[in-house]
Structure 1
Amino acid sequence: MSAELVWKVSSPHMIDIQVRPEHQDEYRHTNNVAYLQWLEQAAWSHSNALGLDIAAYYRLGVGCVVRKHELEYLLPTHTGDDLKVGTWISANDGKLSTTREYQVIRVRDGKTVLTGKTHFITVDMASGKPKRMPREFVEAYRPAQ
Structure 2
Amino acid sequence: MMWDLSNPFVIDIEVAADDIDGLGHANNAVYVSWLERSAWRHSQFLGLDLAEYRRLDRAMAVLRHEIDYLASAYEGQQLQMATWIVESDQRLKMDRCFQLIRPADGVTLLRAKTTFVCIELSSGKPKRMPAEFVEGYGAALQPAFPMEL
Distance (whole Å) between structure 1 residues aligned to residue 124 and residue 117 of structure 2: 10
CA distance in 2, matches of 1:17, 1:46: 14
1:14 Cα deviation from its structure 2 partner? 0.8
SS of 1:141's partner is helix
Pairing 1:16–2:12 present: yes
Q: Indicate the residue corresponding to 1:46 in structure 2.
A: 42
5+ residue gaps, structure 1: none
* 1:139 positional shift: 1.1
The two structures have a TM-score, normalised by structure 1, of: 0.94
Q: Say what the alpha-carbon RMSD is for the aligned residues.
A: 0.8
Flag structure 2 segments of 5+ consecutive residues without an equivalent: 144-149
Residue 110 of structure 2: aligned partner: 114
Query: What are the Cα deviations for residues 69-124 of structure 1, in whole angstroms up to 9, with x where unaligned?
Result: 11100011111211001111010001100011100000100111000011000011
1:1-145 residue pairs with structure 2 within 5 A?
A: 5-142=1-138, 143-145=141-143
Give the percent of matched residue pairs that are identical in Structure 1 and Structure 2: 45
**TM-score normalised per structure 2:** 0.92
The alignment of Structure 1 onto Structure 2 pairs a total of residues equal to 141
* CA–CA distance in structure 1, aligned partners of residues 23 and 89 of structure 2: 40
What letter matches 1:144 in structure 2?
A: Q
Secondary structure of 1:126's match? Answer: coil
After superposition, the C-alpha distances for 1:6-62 in whole angstroms (9 at most, x for unaligned) are: 001111111101112211111111101111111111101000000000100111111
